Structure 1
Amino acid sequence: MRKTRKAAAVLTAVAMAAVSAVPAMADEIKDLYDYELQSREIETWNVLYSQQATDLQVLTNLYDGLLESDEYGKLAPAVAESWETEDNGVTWTFHLRQGVKWVDQNGNEKGEVTAQDFLTGLEWVLNFHKNDATNTSMPMEMIVGAEDYYNMTSELDADAGLALTAESPEFADTVGIKAIDDYTLQYTCVSEKPYFDTVATYNCLYPISQAMIDEIGIDGFKAATPENIWYNGAYTCTEYIQQNTKTLTKNPLYWDTEAKLFDSVTIKMVESIDTAYQLYTTGELDHVNLSESNLTTIYNNESDPLHDQLVEKRPTKFSYQFHFNYDKHNDDQSEDTNWNTAIANEAFRKCWYYGLDLGSYYKRTNAINPYKCYNNAYTMQGLVYLSDGTEYTSLVQEKLGLPAYDGETMTRLDSEKFEEYKAQAIEELTAAGVTFPVHARYFVAGGNQTTLDSANVLKQAFSDCFGDDFIVLDIDSYVSSLAKEVRDPRRQSFVINGWGADYGDPQNYLGQETNDSDNAYYMVAYGHAVDNESEELKALYDEFTELVNKADAITDDLDARYEAYADAEAFLLDHALTLPSNFDIGWELTHVNDYTNQNAMFGIQNQKYKNWETSTDAYTAEDYAGFQETWNAGMAE
């Protein structure tokens, strides 16, 4: 049983006063206790196969790629100690550090990480029979021959495809990646890609060892487990009990000998935030995100021993959107014609854009400053900046003609425009045979009271803003897998999803919505606009895709590139093809200084338990004000 710390969470106000009267130096945490919701359990231990944050925030601790980021979001060396391009991003050379080791679950050495391992990893990603189409989008868009190799493998029978390796001529003579020597790796891009080094923070370019594949087999790596994989990251996973705990143990042979690591990290799986809160108050967790009810209870009671320890979190790297399903199916897999006809109508979608006030929904995340969560763009704030310092999404909002954010409202709301578009939508859709109210089906994880409560708040917002005679939100649940039970059979009307960039360019956001690629994640997995019968809708996506491709073709002038992307993004939002929802800016109680965590708006490293400053005593709001001031000063340097 873990020894309970002297956390303020379990002290009375009187006891706290006594403690504060005797100043003491708090210790740093050696064994960290974190948590995750059971609805967000890891689905694969194969780092090359996942595109989900729920997997990658664990796997980033077990594997290292070429680069990572620092606490300011800037690129930092990892397996590669230096890198360069001499031709504005066509050819990229990474110089690997010597002595990076592969280890097994128990930290025993299995081999050395060399340039060849990155070839082996990319071959696996691009081989249809090994990795399906997962993580292929960026390599296929950027690296010479990657798309040709993927297409070739997809046409082979399974046995022939699985027999290929990075040393096979089919790969070695086709794909633009070379191991110049054991510690020099070179990529050749299809055109100038001045941001390609940011791709090196994402797992599509991660290494694996052919010796590992030879040891455990192709099927063994496909169904990877903590027991059979080789690790080169900061930790190994020494125990995994599904839906219960994961234990990460410090890698004794980790290359970064100067890094501050925990001896162990235990990730407890919990049913809800409320469960996590109870575990925090008994000293069994080192931080907890607060639900609306817990936050308001503590915030409104100045005598609460936790009141001064309330800290507002930094924004996560995710920009959340309403993603419409334009080809919704009923449970019997027949087409939901009523919904599909309605959502294809632009006036109907603009009713959502101008009329849906999400203030009450934001309170579920941030009950104190709810409109800090207000999101007006598709791309995440802070991803890229123009040469004069202009932040990219502010340019998008300028093109949309939106008022400046005032901190107290959703500035895109416009009651007059809403009523105008509502009348137009009812007239046009009634003529098209749509019946009202239009029912929008929304799914939450079964048994998760927190998400159900949030959905009910959203349902009330629909009722208040739209009226029950126009649009009604129907809440449903799935048992264990949103993808298998809802997304793949296309049962949802919309989802609210957050996207965090894989690399540092707007293409990684907007390219998910185009209609010309099998790798456009949201179009293929969620939106299905290409399957809707509306020619008007298809024409809008054609024009949007053309704008995105035009922007992507600009590589010699980043300002011009970002201007062109802002035009495309403004078009997407002006036609309400997707609906910006929120940022994730909540409140927490914590023993972790979040300003020491990696903080990039791209890549998979932000949840890496590396170089974190911690305290056995909970931090206070005053502490966090100092942390922010120090971080801001460092960011300005």
Structure 2
Amino acid sequence: MKRLVALTMALLIIITGCSSGGKKTSGDNVAAVQEYRTAYSGEITTLNYLVTATTNEFAMAANLVDTLIDYDRYGVVQPGLATEWSLSDDNLVWTFKLREGVKWLTHDGEEYAEVTAQDFVDAMKYILNPANESKTANIAYSVIKNAEEYYNGEITDFEQVGVKALDKYTLEYTLKNPTPYFLSMLTYVCFFPVNGQFLEEAGDRFGTDNINFLYNGAYIMETFEPQNRRVLVANENYWDKENIHITKLTYIYNKEAGTLAPELFLRKEIDYADIPSDILDEWMNDPEKETQIRPNRTSFYSYFYCLNFDPQFPEEYEPGNWKIVVNNKNFRKSLFHALDRKAAMLTAEPYDPEKRISNTVTPKNFVDLEGVDYTQLGSLTELSNNDSFNEKLALEYKENALAELEGKATFPVKVLMPYNTGSSEWANRAQVVEQQMENLLGTDYIDIIIDPKPPTGFLQEVRRSGNYAFLECNWGPDYADPETYTDPFSPDGTYNWPHLAEGYKESNGKNTYENMVNGAKAEVVDIEKRYNLFAEAEAFLIGEAFIIPYAVGGGGYSASRLNPFESLYSPFGVSAERFKGQKVMEKPMNSEEFTEALEKWEKERAEALKKATK
């Protein structure tokens, strides 16, 4: 992934885990028993990694199924199921040699088959079948030759698609265009393998539970009891078992996990807890608790507020009226400049809110162009360097909107804003945003209606169903290129509403933003031109107030018995979700220890990256 594209990356980790019984170890601050427990409130809806695009679900799959390549704890690409790979002179054909002797196992540890090149072909064929409704098919067919044509039914012979098993242990991908970031895509779920015979036998049952599933990764799911518990045990036949130290991972369901986790951590019932901002002062000022809390690194997850151009919410919230106003640029700009992101961020980061606030969709330090950060290119520069919150502009746009919408829309506009009750910080933030924006723009103009929704099924019930007007959303990168942050806004992406905005259709029938993105995608040789085109497209997306950039992920504080600097490191794909290489600590890391470890890790990483690029 990083062999081809030089970029600066930050830690992307969602830690989960356990503590009692299991593998014994020795060493400084290493628990004698390597088991790890965590509490969760949002249940996964599928184990079928070939269809999901949800972090909560592919994070689980990351520990059950391996990928062609992986990353070490410094972000240097490493062999995984592939031991070596090469790229043709025309930059179109990638060839991977697979590790021999890796086994697919059933849930009870019985050998089912050997992992072969055909498993990657079978997985791609499943993903490219529209009937299977894979939410990552667009990522795969954006790069593989004839994949999009097969997906759309323009060709019916899968042999024409650019994925082949040349022999039992040789896999070949042929790309539609040179793709400098292709290697960095290979730890995402659409490039996972699956055993075709098992997939056919399981049919619609594949991924519905731990039994209708095969394992070739570090862990096997021993127990799967939705809304009760999940238990993962170390795979004794794993090809890299010496780097698996935690022997059992136990996930305990509790619908109030977000609130109760800190107390459960103090009682040593779980080994990880986010410390929400409303109790942060209490922990910081308590001598005993303060020794158990540390900062979290920020991540490359991007958070932004979505304005829905295809409202599908109940009539009581007046979706027809919302559709009229959201298609008025002045109305959108009034909301854009009215959102005080610092006030919102104080609900999550009361000590240093600025470190998480982001003015762009693509975070700073993700990729650079000969030392110039992507966010400092072209028209994106001004947006990146200036806070969008501006009371004077917000009120000016309000007056313009009222004048343009007179007789067309009803005021105050009902603005349905759901939030996930699994996060106390999100609940607090929803109230802050409601009060702050209504106080500035006036309740004669907008009526923000906050709507609590349960964590299980939140994405399906709210975002994917269009059951919102204004919503805090997020997106994590899938590969090392600015294009990854445009994926959710494409017509077939996760947030497919920008192309529905009225007044932006061009002569080819497509939206202006879509045409700009397609122009950037088409430039695969001149990276400078490519990045500048993507920067202009992003500046347009933000400048037209289709979305309101808000923050980057991570940050905050946690109590954890995992050392974050032992984790595999990558801002895209699934590597950072793996427990591989990690050990349970006897005592949690405190803030001082975290700072020292971070400085040490950054120096070591710089050396590792230098060595890797020689």
Q: Structure 1 length as normaliser, TM-score?
A: 0.85
Q: Of 285, 303, 318, which aligns to 2:301?
A: 318
C-alpha distance 29-267 of structure 1, shift in aligned 2 (>3 A): farther
Using the TM superposition, give the Cα deviation of residue 323 of structure 1 relative to its aligned residue in structure 2, in angstroms. 1.4
Match status 1:472 vs 2:447: yes
C-alpha distance 333-629 of structure 1, shift in aligned 2 (>3 A): same
Q: Of 428, 450, 457, which aligns to 1:481?
A: 457
The letter for the 2-side match of 1:149 is: Y
**8 A Cα contact 2:188 2:478, kept in partner:** yes
**8 A Cα contact 1:462 1:472, kept in partner:** no
C-alpha distance 243-450 of structure 1, shift in aligned 2 (>3 A): farther
**8 A Cα contact 1:60 1:608, kept in partner:** yes
User: Equivalent residue for 1:148?
Assistant: 149
The letter for the 2-side match of 1:500 is: G
User: Equivalent residue for 1:423?
Assistant: 399
**8 A Cα contact 2:70 2:80, kept in partner:** yes
Deviations 1:425-457 (CA, angstroms, capped at 9, x unpaired): 2211225x2222222101134687554333222
User: How many angstroms apart in 2 are the aligned matches of 1:306 and 1:446?
Assistant: 26
* Partner-residue secondary structure (3-state), 1:120: helix
Matches within 5 A, 1:202-213: 202-213=188-199
User: How many angstroms apart in 2 are the aligned matches of 1:563 and 1:610?
Assistant: 37
Q: Tell me which moved more, 104-113 or 475-484.
A: 475-484
User: Equivalent residue for 1:561?
Assistant: 530
Match status 1:635 vs 2:605: yes
User: How many angstroms apart in 1 are the aligned matches of 2:101 and 2:95?
Assistant: 19
Q: Of 19, 27, 31, which aligns to 1:28?
A: 31
Q: Of 587, 602, 610, which aligns to 1:617?
A: 587
**8 A Cα contact 1:30 1:264, kept in partner:** no
Unaligned runs of 5+ in 2: 1-17, 22-26, 608-614
C-alpha distance 455-272 of structure 1, shift in aligned 2 (>3 A): farther
The letter for the 1-side match of 2:581 is: N
Using the TM superposition, give the Cα deviation of residue 401 of structure 1 relative to its aligned residue in structure 2, in angstroms. 4.9
User: How many angstroms apart in 1 are the aligned matches of 2:264 and 2:368?
Assistant: 41
User: How many angstroms apart in 2 are the aligned matches of 1:617 and 1:330?
Assistant: 48
User: Equivalent residue for 1:176?
Assistant: 162
Using the TM superposition, give the Cα deviation of residue 189 of structure 1 relative to its aligned residue in structure 2, in angstroms. 0.7
Using the TM superposition, give the Cα deviation of residue 364 of structure 1 relative to its aligned residue in structure 2, in angstroms. 2.2
Q: Of 207, 215, 234, which aligns to 1:250?
A: 234
* Partner-residue secondary structure (3-state), 1:634: helix
Q: Tell me which moved more, 446-455 or 459-468.
A: 446-455
Matches within 5 A, 1:185-584: 185-214=171-200, 216-221=201-206, 223-270=207-254, 271-299=256-284, 301=285, 303-332=286-315, 336-386=319-369, 388-395=370-377, 399-403=381-385, 411-431=387-407, 433-445=408-420, 451-478=426-453, 480-514=456-490, 517=491, 519-523=492-496, 527=497, 529-530=499-500, 534-536=502-504, 542-584=511-553
Q: Of 117, 122, 125, which aligns to 1:120?
A: 122
C-alpha distance 488-553 of structure 1, shift in aligned 2 (>3 A): closer
Q: Structure 2 length as normaliser, TM-score?
A: 0.88
The letter for the 1-side match of 2:533 is: A
Using the TM superposition, give the Cα deviation of residue 139 of structure 1 relative to its aligned residue in structure 2, in angstroms. 2.0
Using the TM superposition, give the Cα deviation of residue 497 of structure 1 relative to its aligned residue in structure 2, in angstroms. 1.4
Matches within 5 A, 1:94-109: 94-109=96-111
The letter for the 2-side match of 1:453 is: N
C-alpha distance 452-396 of structure 1, shift in aligned 2 (>3 A): farther
User: How many angstroms apart in 2 are the aligned matches of 1:552 and 1:448?
Assistant: 36
User: How many angstroms apart in 1 are the aligned matches of 2:522 and 2:537?
Assistant: 13
* Partner-residue secondary structure (3-state), 1:465: helix
Using the TM superposition, give the Cα deviation of residue 304 of structure 1 relative to its aligned residue in structure 2, in angstroms. 2.8
Using the TM superposition, give the Cα deviation of residue 42 of structure 1 relative to its aligned residue in structure 2, in angstroms. 0.8
User: How many angstroms apart in 2 are the aligned matches of 1:3 and 1:572?
Assistant: 46
* Partner-residue secondary structure (3-state), 1:266: strand
C-alpha distance 29-184 of structure 1, shift in aligned 2 (>3 A): farther
User: How many angstroms apart in 1 are the aligned matches of 2:169 and 2:482?
Assistant: 31
Deviations 1:163-192 (CA, angstroms, capped at 9, x unpaired): xxxxxx932x22111112211111101111
Q: Tell me which moved more, 438-447 or 85-94.
A: 438-447
Using the TM superposition, give the Cα deviation of residue 398 of structure 1 relative to its aligned residue in structure 2, in angstroms. 5.0
Deviations 1:100-140 (CA, angstroms, capped at 9, x unpaired): 111111222222111111111111111233x2243210222
Unaligned runs of 5+ in 1: 6-23, 156-168, 405-410
The letter for the 1-side match of 2:503 is: E
Using the TM superposition, give the Cα deviation of residue 266 of structure 1 relative to its aligned residue in structure 2, in angstroms. 0.9
**8 A Cα contact 2:360 2:384, kept in partner:** no
User: How many angstroms apart in 2 are the aligned matches of 1:501 and 1:446?
Assistant: 25
**8 A Cα contact 1:67 1:79, kept in partner:** yes
* Partner-residue secondary structure (3-state), 1:427: helix
Using the TM superposition, give the Cα deviation of residue 318 of structure 1 relative to its aligned residue in structure 2, in angstroms. 1.0
**8 A Cα contact 1:333 1:489, kept in partner:** no
Q: Tell me which moved more, 334-343 or 443-452.
A: 443-452
C-alpha distance 30-497 of structure 1, shift in aligned 2 (>3 A): farther
> Structure 1 segments of 4 or more deviating over 6 A?
2-5, 537-541
Deviations 1:395-434 (CA, angstroms, capped at 9, x unpaired): 3775335536xxxxxx232233223222212211225x22
C-alpha distance 590-449 of structure 1, shift in aligned 2 (>3 A): closer
C-alpha distance 493-538 of structure 1, shift in aligned 2 (>3 A): farther
Deviations 1:44-82 (CA, angstroms, capped at 9, x unpaired): 111111111110111110011112222233332211122
* Partner-residue secondary structure (3-state), 1:337: helix
C-alpha distance 236-495 of structure 1, shift in aligned 2 (>3 A): same
User: How many angstroms apart in 2 are the aligned matches of 1:174 and 1:88?
Assistant: 19
The letter for the 2-side match of 1:399 is: T
User: How many angstroms apart in 2 are the aligned matches of 1:259 and 1:120?
Assistant: 29
User: How many angstroms apart in 2 are the aligned matches of 1:272 and 1:430?
Assistant: 47
Query: What is the CA RMSD across the aligned residues, in angstroms?
Result: 2.6
**8 A Cα contact 1:511 1:548, kept in partner:** no
User: How many angstroms apart in 2 are the aligned matches of 1:442 and 1:81?
Assistant: 48
**8 A Cα contact 1:321 1:579, kept in partner:** yes
* Partner-residue secondary structure (3-state), 1:316: strand
User: How many angstroms apart in 1 are the aligned matches of 2:173 and 2:142?
Assistant: 13
User: How many angstroms apart in 2 are the aligned matches of 1:456 and 1:427?
Assistant: 29
C-alpha distance 465-563 of structure 1, shift in aligned 2 (>3 A): same
C-alpha distance 268-454 of structure 1, shift in aligned 2 (>3 A): farther
